Structure 1
């Protein structure tokens, strides 16, 4: 019984985390704006925090849009 109640809660938390993926302060506003579609397409399964989203963009650097790539190039690591 406990497991059957936990699964929907875990799914809800994962959805909320992905919806707020750019809510963290470590990602500049310009990147949030210009990389939103790229995030949805390439990195939506990545848990926010610890630089994981920026690492995902780096792993997919040849696939991100030119605007996103430009914004990311200005992020200081």
Structure 2
């Protein structure tokens, strides 16, 4: 899968979030299912997007301790 296509998909998901600041807990299983990809491909692509600075990643300090993604 092309990383830019996945990035635009994730970016749209974050923009549509109602939370303030705009952040979202992304289920790699659901994204992989929607895009007909392997879960490992989606996880690696998200790691690459964070490494390239296109996304920021953080972990919630309170339950449910999900990893959230934010736009820079």
| TM class, shorter-length | under 0.3
Which one has the bigger strand percentage? Answer: 2
The higher radius of gyration belongs to 1
Give the TM-score taking structure 2 as reference length. 0.28
Which one has the bigger helix percentage? Answer: 1
